[in-house]
Structure 1
Amino acid sequence: MQRSSTPAGQDLEAISRNGGVFRRMASRIPTYMTDLRENPAWLPMFLLARTIPFRKAHWLTAKPAAIVSRTRDSMFGDLKADAIATELKRSGIYPGLKLPNAIIEGIARFARETPCFGNFDRKLEFLPQDHQEAERLFRRAILSGHHYERVLKCDAAIAVQQDPLLLEVARHYLGDGAKLITTRTWWSFPTSSPSDAELSRASFKFHFDLDDWRMLKFFFYLSDVDEEAGPHVYVRGSHNRRRLKHQLTLLVGHPAHEVVGFYGQQNVMTLTGGAGTGFVEDPFGFHMGTPAKTKPRLMMEVGFGVSKPSRRRFHGEPVVR
């Protein structure tokens, strides 16, 4: 995997613009209310897990991982879960994962042949190779295409989800109660005319995730990703230190100049690499996806947490159905 520092210049600032943030928050209120009705414990997590003192208090409840003998081999070879967890505790990210070719080919084939949903909207359904035609048909820029629950029909994706190393790392890092909460695949598409509102989505600005008190996410590129194909960006060390201003707000996304200025340019990692490149991160650290500029990016995520996942909607789906 290739890693590089990312300049805090005009490109990142354009990605990190704040336009329409209050409209987006207002549009999520029905989803938040339904989350609360389904799981009353969601509200204290949503309000308090963004603060370092309450997060540290919750981490104290984590039970050490019990020593369990592995019953089958991992597709990732002899990587040590405890060593990966140690690096995660230090920097928030471990970039040394690699998928086997057969798994890459299996997931990529599924993703090419399975219709996806554009811009998190189930009304925008199309095959990925028909992206430009879909933009003309739906008369809007389409930056992403998610498969949602359809990924659970992909044997290669399930093999990654169930690989013993992933759960071992999660248990060593999050504690013995770590559990699988998300599996998803999605496309990021280059488009010639994205609107400011589309580019100002939280995923395209520095942000942190608040899906749970304690989280861990594995990411895998299923296509070659260079600087022009929407690489993932992570700020090392930002998972365990947080500017007070970034704790005392309901916003999770913040401008690039604020994030880079406080946490340091030297800690900003841009992750590029060939198909199969993988990394695992604590998503409470500041991170972002960047828009694909010249070619589509196919990506997979497997996430772990300590609380029960939502029953109503698939991960990443921002609407109440």
Structure 2
Amino acid sequence: MTVTKPDKADAASLEAIARNGSILRRIAVRIPTYLSDIRENPAWLPMFVLARTMPARRLHWRGAKPVRAKKVQDTMFAGVNRQDVVDALQSDGLFSGLVLPKFIHEEIAAFVRCTPCFGNFDRRLEFMPTEHEQAEARFGVPLLSGHYFERILACKAALAIQNDPLLTDIAAHYLGGQAKLITTRVWWSFPTGQASDADKNLASLGKYHFDLDDWRMLKFFFYLLPVDEGTGPHVYVRGSHKRRALKHQLTLLVGHPAEEVLDVYGEQSPVTLTGEAGLGFVEDPFGFHMGTVPAHTPRLMMEVGFGVSPPSRRRFHGEPVIR
């Protein structure tokens, strides 16, 4: 029997079919979440469609209300100048230099170690984070993440970060006077050799993407345990919040391969953020970013996000709709 190898055109066609199938699966997984967002707030749909385009975003930014400068008191972030942060955000989309007091990040880490989390955003997959391997065996699925959702609000140290006046002040001076708190979440990212691409996409790991939860957003992130190259560090592409290739505006997908992104912004544009427990940074999440998959040590992270639209009750803690 003679076996004929496919020519280059056939190979390209097969690759395109596989890629399109992957795209459709990624969209299908998110459809229940999108429908929930539309039911809760019909204004979400035009935002989701138009906010990915630069002309619509620039037009919306013109509606930012000015904020009167005032001295911030009682912040836990001593020595941080708000204007330095805002200037860095406007130029690079990123500022790294916020440091949590030791007792704050230690209190949160202690709280979550003794509190059950939900694997892969699914409330049916509840387990203790110290029993990750046993939970994977019990549920029979790879557990790439463990989220706390509203449970984190029982931790006083987490609430102190959420309500810190410096974060609110930075958000108002970057986003405008309409800035309001729209997300607070804490989660684990676990090393696992069994996760599929679909699992990684759901957890926003391993692929550059941008966020479209609001017209204008700002996210503060804090490492609650040390993060090195093997702990799944966060990566941000500097300057990608200010410009966008046309093909990345005219698509329903927010995630794109690294080579596509770096072809536009340059090989030197990504910043990999590693550091000790307590390291904090803030970014404009419309810029391309990703969490990398931990290789050997779980990553424990907190996010406090600000936007300009009414917060979603479900998305406040980062919870999608799982079917």
Q: Decide which of 242, 245, 248 is 1:246's aligned counterpart.
A: 248
Give the structure 2 partner of residue 100 of structure 1: 101
Q: CA deviation at 1:313?
A: 5.0
Q: How many residues align?
A: 304
Structure with max Cα Rg: 2
Output one character per residue of 1:193-240: Cα deviation in whole Å (capped at 9) or x when no partner: 222322344612100000000000000000110000000000000001
1:284 and 2:295 correspond: no
1:231 and 2:242 correspond: no
Q: Decide which of 52, 57, 61 is 1:59's aligned counterpart.
A: 61
Output one character per residue of 1:13-60: Cα deviation in whole Å (capped at 9) or x when no partner: xxxx99733123123223222321221111110000000010000000
Q: CA deviation at 1:314?
A: 4.3
| 1:288 counterpart SS class | strand
One-letter identity of the residue aligned with 2:264: F
Computed over aligned residues only, the root mean square deviation of the Cα atoms, in angstroms, reads 1.6
CA distance in 2, matches of 1:257, 1:29: 27
| 1:74 counterpart SS class | coil
Give the structure 1 partner of residue 272 of structure 2: 270
Q: Is the 8 A contact 2:183 2:318 kept in 1?
A: no
One-letter identity of the residue aligned with 1:279: F
Give the structure 1 partner of residue 134 of structure 2: 133
Segments of 4+ moved more than 4 angstroms? none
Give the structure 2 partner of residue 255 of structure 1: 257
Q: CA deviation at 1:247?
A: 0.2
Output one character per residue of 1:44-81: Cα deviation in whole Å (capped at 9) or x when no partner: 100000000100000000011122343x3211103121
One-letter identity of the residue aligned with 1:30: P
Q: Using CA pairs below 8 Å that are at least 6 residues apart, which structure has the higher relative contact order? A: 1
Moved more, 204-213 or 18-27: 18-27
After TM superposition, the structure 1 = structure 2 runs for residues 86-125 of structure 1, keeping only pairs within 5 Å, are: 86-125=87-126
CA distance in 1, matches of 2:77, 2:53: 34
One-letter identity of the residue aligned with 2:94: I
1:203 and 2:179 correspond: no
CA distance in 2, matches of 1:312, 1:183: 11
Give the structure 2 partner of residue 187 of structure 1: 188
One-letter identity of the residue aligned with 1:185: V
CA distance in 1, matches of 2:21, 2:62: 38
| 1:123 counterpart SS class | coil
Moved more, 212-221 or 305-314: 305-314
Consecutive unaligned residues of structure 2, counting only runs of 5 or more, are 1-18
| 1:317 counterpart SS class | coil
Q: CA deviation at 1:315?
A: 3.1
CA distance in 2, matches of 1:18, 1:147: 34
Give the structure 1 partner of residue 151 of structure 2: 150
Q: Is the 8 A contact 1:18 1:200 kept in 2?
A: no
Q: Is the 8 A contact 1:34 1:320 kept in 2?
A: no
Task: Classify 1:104/1:59 alpha carbon distance in 2 versus 1 (closer, same or farther; 3 Å).
Answer: same
Identity of aligned residues (%): 65
CA distance in 2, matches of 1:150, 1:202: 19
CA distance in 2, matches of 1:194, 1:26: 19
Moved more, 186-195 or 289-298: 186-195
Q: CA deviation at 1:320?
A: 6.6
Give the structure 1 partner of residue 80 of structure 2: 79
Q: Is the 8 A contact 1:106 1:156 kept in 2?
A: yes
Q: Is the 8 A contact 1:88 1:94 kept in 2?
A: yes
Give the structure 2 partner of residue 5 of structure 1: none
Task: Classify 1:202/1:110 alpha carbon distance in 2 versus 1 (closer, same or farther; 3 Å).
Answer: closer
CA distance in 2, matches of 1:311, 1:225: 30
CA distance in 1, matches of 2:316, 2:242: 28
Task: Classify 1:19/1:115 alpha carbon distance in 2 versus 1 (closer, same or farther; 3 Å).
Answer: farther
Q: Is the 8 A contact 2:65 2:177 kept in 1?
A: yes
